[in-house]
Amino acid sequence: MPAYAQIITHTPEQTLQWREIAISNPGRLVRTIVLQPGHTTREGDHQGDIYPAMQVLKEISMDLKGQGAVGNKAWVDLINAGLAEALCKNVCEMVVFFQTLPNMPKDLLKKVMEEVSRSYRL
């Protein structure tokens, strides 16, 4: 995630908190990333917690390059807590909303649409 986006979505303190949660309670992280609008987890996590939880998930997954999935206990614990199913659920239920300015130039709108749709291609 670009640094400017992190400032908008969550604080470094939240990321630190979620690093600890990912290790101590991987099921909580998994429950958080599949939250629906207006819902909370049993621990009280809400939609504002999704971004820092995903940032930590990204960091853990990047560690796989150095030691492999089996050597990364945090990754194994997340998988055992249902991470694969949660990520598949998110992809299947993903909805993208565009809010555009009324006077947005059509060429700019087309460029944005192409950029967003690019992330869905394998």
* 52 or 71, higher pLDDT: 52
- DSSP character string of the chain: --HHHHHHH--HHHHHHHHHHHHH-HHHHHHHHTPPTT---TT---GGGHHHHHHHHHHHHHTHHHHHHHH-HHHHHHHHTTHHHHHHHHHHH--------TT--HHHHHHHHHHHHHTT--
- The confidence score (pLDDT) of residue 8 equals 64
* 69 or 76, higher pLDDT: 76
- The confidence score (pLDDT) of residue 72 equals 85
Q: What is the pTM of this model?
A: 0.70
Average confidence (pLDDT) over 17-22: 97
- The confidence score (pLDDT) of residue 122 equals 41
* 53 or 97, higher pLDDT: 53
Instruction: Please give the mean pLDDT across all residues of the chain.
Output: 83
Give the pLDDT band of residue 111 (cuts 50, 70, 90).
confident
* 79 or 7, higher pLDDT: 79
Average confidence (pLDDT) over 118-122: 50
- The confidence score (pLDDT) of residue 20 equals 97
